[in-house]
Amino acid sequence: MTNPLLEKLKLPHFADIKVSDIEPTINEILEKNTKKIDALLEAQSSYSWENLVHPIELMDDHLSRVWSPISHLNSVMNNDEWRTAYSNCLPKLSEYSTAMGQNKTLYLAYRSIKESPEFTQLETSQQKIIDNALRDFELSGVALSEEKKQRYMEISQNLSSLTNQFEENLMDATNAWSKLVLDKSELSGLPESAMDLLRQTAQQKEKEGWMLTLEFPCYMAIMTYADNRDLRYEIHHAFVTRASDQSSGEQSWDNTQIMNDIVGLRQEKAQLLGFESYAHLSLATKMAEQPKDVLEFLNQLADRSLQMAKKDFAALGEFALEQGHKGDLESWDTAYYSEKLREERYQFSQEEVKPYFPVNRVLRGMFAVVEKLYGLNISEVKGVDTWHKDVQFFTITDESGVLRGGFFIDLFARPHKRGGAWMDECVARFKKEEGVQIPVAYLTCNFTPPIGDDPSLLTHGEVETLFHEFGHGLHHMLTKVDYLSVSGINGVEWDAVELPSQFMENWCWQADVMALISGHYKTGELLPSDIFEKMLAAKNFQSGMQMVRQIEFSIFDFRVHLEYDKTNSTQIYDILAEVRALVSVVKTPEFNRFPNGFSHIFAGGYAAGYYSYKWAEVLSSDAFSLFEEKGVFDEQTGRSFLHNILEKGGSDDALELFTAFRGRKPTIDALLKHSGIAA
C-alpha cells in the first residue's frame, strides 16, 4: 500500500491520508534531511547556491508539502487520533528546525557564499535568501555555547507544545458548550435566518428546538439580535470565559498557566540571544525597528481615536436609555444596542443586506474584481479530492493563459473546525529541474452554512473577511519569484504581510463592485443604491470604538512581551487592566478572560506583532488612495500593484516595494481618512 504523503502529487490526496502514516513519515523525512545536509557539507570544499542552498530549498519544500495537509486537516477536521499524531510531531519538527538553525558548519557555509565573489552575481531574491538565512541562524542561537544551545532547543520544543495545547484547549472549550432552547419566545428579536441556523444545528444533533453553540455565526446572532438580555449574558459569559478559570467547562482546558509559561519561555529565549525582551527579538524580522516606534505609532493612533470612541460610546449609552435600558451598558449589551442604533440612524440593518450577498454571487464578483485589476481568469475545477463536501477548488490563469495558482476554499463553520478565518500555504511556487511548481493556497472561513435549500448568505462584514483572506491568497499565488524562501508570503516582514489582505477589503465599499458581488438570492436583484448609500453613510459607524479596540489588543500584546516580570504571576491581566484604563471605552466585566482565547498571540504567529494589522492598514489605505486618485479599476495602477507588490513576495524589503508602487513612503493620513477619524 503506497503512502500518499510521500507520493509526488500535484495536490494532496486528503481522503487517502492515514493517521498511522503521519509520525513514521515525518520521522523518515527528518532523518533523511539531516543525513543529506551532513553529506552536502562534507562533499564540498567550497559552497555555492547550486551545491548547497538549492538542495536545502528542495528538502524544505518536500517537508513543507508533506506537513501542510497534516497541519491543515488538524485545523479543519480535528479529532482525537489526528490531534495525537499531529501533537507528537511538533517537538520533532521543532528539534529539527532548531538543529538546522544552530548548525555552525552550515552557518559558516552560508557565510562563505555571502563573502564570495559569486554573491554579487546572484539575483536579488537569492541574495535576500542568504541574508535572511544568516539573520535566522543568529536568531536560532548558532553563536551560543553548547549548554545554551541545548536550553534554546528545549525552549523551542516546549513553546511548540504549549502553543498547540492552547489552541486545543480553546477548541475543546468552544465545542463543549451548547444550549438547547425549546421555547421560541426566548429567542425573540432573532431574524429568521438565525432561527433557521439554530434549528438546523439542533436537527444535526437529532434534537427538536433551537441549538445555541459558541461557533461565531451563532454567538454573533445572539449578541446582536436577542431581546432576551439574560440569554445574551449567558452566551457572552460562556464565550469570553472559554478555556479559563471562570468557565463552566473542564478545568484542564484553562489556558491561564499556559499563557504565563509561553510568555516566560519567549522572554528566556530572547535573553539567551542577547535581546532585552521578546518584543525586541520579534522586531528583528519586521519593518518596525525599535519597540518605542511601535508604541509611539499605537499611542499616536489612540490619541487621534480616543475622543471619537468616547463620543461613540456616550451616544450608544444615551440611545440605550431611550430604548428603556436600565443601569450601565454592559459588554453583553453593546452589540445589541449598536445594531439598533445603526438601524435607527441609517435605516438599514446588517440582516437586511444579507439576502443580497449569497456566497456564490460574492465569490464570482470577487473573482471578477481581481480579473479586472490584474488581468486574470479564475475557474472552478470539479473532481478534485477535498476533505469535506463543501470545499471547492479553483485555478487562476493570467492573460497569456499561463497557470499561476490554485486554491481550496472552505467557507462554513462546523464542529471540529478551528474558529476564525485564515489563508495557509498548500504548495509554494518554486522552480525545480522539472519546471515551476505552481502555488496552491487553502482559504478557510467560518460563515453561516447553507440552510435547507437556501444558499449561505453573508453579512457585509463577512464579505470583507472573504476579500481579506483572498488578498492573502493572491499574495501567495501570484508571486513570480522562483526561489522557495522568498516566494509568495515567505520572507515578507510580518508587519507588512497584512498589506495585500487589508488592501483587498477596500473594493467591498465601491459602487462599481456592488454590481459584481451583490444579487438577491431569490430574485437576482442588485443591492439597491439607496441601501448602499446607507451602508456608506454607516461605514464609519463607531469606527472610533473599533479603532481603540484593536489598539487595546495591540498595546496589550506588545507590552506583555516587552515588560515580562517572572515574579508577577498575574502580570498578563495586570497589563491588560492598565491598557484598558488608558484606551478602552466599553466596561469589561470581572469575569472576562479574553487573553485565554487570544489565539493570534498565544497560538499563532502574532506574538509582539498584533500591531501589524494597524501598521499594514496604514500601508493598505495609502496604497488604495492611489486607486482613489486614478479610478478603482484603473488598469495601469492595478498592474503596478501586481508587479511591485504581489509578484515580488519577500524578494525585497517591504518598504522598498511599497515605495516603488506608491512613489513615496507611506503616511498615516489615508488610514485616518478612511476610518473617518482624520477631522
Rounded CA separation 24/32 (Å):
12
Respond yes or no: is residue 493 known to be catalytic: no
C-alpha cell at 330: 454592559
Q: Is 129 helix (H, G, I), strand (E, B) or coil?
A: helix
Full residue range of the structural domain in which residue 57 is found: 14-172
Residue 677 resides in a domain: no
Question: Which of 425, 440, 423 lies closest to 381, judged by CA?
Answer: 440
pLDDT digits (tens, 9 = 90+) for 566-613: 999 999 999 999 999 999 999 999 999 999 999 999 999 999 999 999
**Burial class of residue 309, CB neighbours in 10 A (0-12, 13-18, 19+):** buried
Residue 102 resides in a domain: yes
651 and 128 in contact (C-beta within 8 Å)?
yes
Say yes or no: 296 and 434 in one domain. no
Rounded CA separation 608/193 (Å):
39
Residue 676 confidence (pLDDT): 85
Q: How far apart are the first and last CA of the chain?
A: 67
Q: How many domains does the chain have?
A: 4
Say yes or no: 33 and 154 in one domain. yes
Residue owning grid cell 456616550: 314
Say yes or no: 419 and 518 in one domain. yes
Say yes or no: 53 and 165 in one domain. yes
Q: How far is CA 24 from CA 3, 31, 82, in A?
A: 10, 11, 14
Last residue of a domain, one of 577, 610, 643: 610
Residue 150 confidence (pLDDT): 97
Q: Model pTM?
A: 0.94
DSSP string, 524-563: -PPPPHHHHHHHHHHTTTTHHHHHHHHHHHHHHHHHHHHS
CB atoms within 10 A of CB 236: 22
Say yes or no: 379 and 521 in one domain. yes
Distance of CA 299 to the CA centre of its chain: 24
Rounded CA separation 346/239 (Å):
30
Distance of CA 272 to the CA centre of its chain: 29
Last residue of a domain, one of 610, 641, 659: 610
Rounded CA separation 367/378 (Å):
6
Say yes or no: 363 and 218 in one domain. no
Residue 1 confidence (pLDDT): 53
Residue 523 confidence (pLDDT): 97
Rounded CA separation 221/193 (Å):
10
Distance of CA 514 to the CA centre of its chain: 25
Rounded CA separation 473/479 (Å):
10
Q: Is 590 helix (H, G, I), strand (E, B) or coil?
A: coil
225 and 256 in contact (C-beta within 8 Å)?
no
Q: What are phi and psi of 509, to 5 degrees?
A: -115, 20
The CATH number of whichever domain residue 590 belongs to comes to 1.10.1370.10
C-alpha cell at 424: 495557509
pLDDT digits (tens, 9 = 90+) for 94-124: 999 999 999 999 999 999 999 999 999 999 9
Say yes or no: 29 and 165 in one domain. yes
190 and 222 in contact (C-beta within 8 Å)?
yes
Low-confidence ranges of the chain (pLDDT < 50): none
Say yes or no: 73 and 88 in one domain. yes
Residue 676 resides in a domain: no
Helices 291-322/612-630 angle, 10° precision: 80
Which of 168, 469, 493, 617 is catalytic? The answer is 469
Say yes or no: 145 and 204 in one domain. no
Q: How far is CA 675 from CA 308, 542, 669, in A?
A: 11, 10, 10
